[in-house]
Amino acid sequence: MTRPEAAALASRGPASTALTNAFADRTAVVTGAAGFIGSHLCERLLDLGAEVIGVDNLLTGRLDNLSSLRSAGGFDLRADDVTHPFAVTGPVDFVFHLASPASPVDYARHPLATLKVGAFGTLNAVELAQAKGARFLLASTSEVYGDPLEHPQAEQYWGHVNPIGPRSVYDEAKRYAEALTSCFQRSGSANTRIVRIFNTYGPRMRADDGRAVPAFIQQALSGTLITVAGDGSQTRSLCYVADTVEGLLAAAAHDHTGPVNIGNPHEITVLQLAEEIRAMTGSASAVAFVPLPVDDPKRRCPDITNALTHLGWKPTTALRDGLRQTLDWVRQNPVDQTGTAPAAAGGDAR
């Protein structure tokens, strides 16, 4: 989301007015600030009038994601590793904990770091919120549902997760993070919120992180084979990043403690997504089917009743519109698109 796009969102009616009232002249700490969703969140907070302290060790985040903010007033970036205790001077009103590898490629490459940031990173971030009397928001994931047996997935569903499989380092890190956050909330030690982010896409996704949208776009533009895992019948529900950010902010500003699903309930097969991107790019690339990753979910679709009822939130960006904006960004930023990987369409693209 560019600054003009964020400014346009800020002018959208009562919901945006409520967010301005909640965040203007407040201080927010965002861990994972240089990540995909984290960088968009920082931009939106600044446009709402907040002071933002970004924290990122740049394991998977990129400074380029924050290029428009690093010289902006009200934004401070700290190169801290949140798996170690970290301090922030002055008052803090909100702590958004987004730090974590979030794509299948990244958490396979950094399994121990993924487990540590889910455990120690969450503890350090929530203890910062506790010390400051700040509201804490945990960015959890639809991956806590595993390969679900219930559709769509509602928050009361406990999930179907392989605790020792290759995806478990991410799934179980987030499940533990939710348990820890809930413990602080139940004990009255901290004022916490939990959101479960479903598949998110948009500008700034890395082409080489193994997720479907950036991989398909890059493959289609380069004329190489579009690699679809399995037979492509597995489904995903894709939410544009600007909508996801609005959901995170609505959850942080509201009294509903969650967990609450933040995602788009429009379901599409991975093969349909590949064909849509191929058509939008005018590509002659053929589709090639590759082996399905272990424990790759067959269906993924959020029940957003709680988000609608409690937060007044729902996604507003149609898939074609979001893909067009993503495609425009990729074409304008070819240097950032280095390499591709077979697309599992997993992860929530933090």
pLDDT in tens, 321-336: 999 999 999 999 885 4
pLDDT in tens, 264-323: 999 999 999 999 999 999 999 999 999 998 888 899 999 999 999 999 999 999 999 999
Q: Taking the CB of residue 4, how many other CB atoms lie within 10 A of it?
A: 9
Please give the structure tokens belonging to residue 11: 């002018």
> pTM above 0.85?
yes
Which residue among the candidates 107, 170, 201, 240 is catalytic per the annotation?
Answer: 170
- Does 303 or 1 have the greater pLDDT score? 303
> Where do the structural domains in the chain lie, given as residue ranges?
3-202+239-265+299-315
In sequence order, what are the beta bridge partners of 29? 53, 95
First and final CA of the chain: distance in angstroms?
A: 14
Amino acid at 170: Y
pLDDT in tens, 203-235: 999 988 889 999 999 999 999 999 999 999 999
**The CATH number fitting domain 3-202+239-265+299-315, selected from 3.90.550.10, 3.40.50.720, 3.40.50.360, 3.40.30.10:** 3.40.50.720
pLDDT in tens, 72-122: 789 999 999 999 999 999 999 999 999 999 998 999 999 999 999 999 999
Confidence of residue 348 (pLDDT cuts 50, 70, 90): low
Distance (Å) of CA 26 to CA 98, 180, 253: 19, 26, 12
Amino acid at 167: R
Q: Which residues contact 169 (CB under 8 A, 6 or more apart)?
A: 107, 111, 112, 114, 115
Please give the structure tokens belonging to residue 311: 């937060």
Confidence of residue 252 (pLDDT cuts 50, 70, 90): very high
Is the confidence at residue 337, as pLDDT, over 50? no
Q: Are 186 and 152 in contact (CB under 8 A)?
A: no
Active site residue 170: yes
Residue carrying the six token digits 């979030």: 102
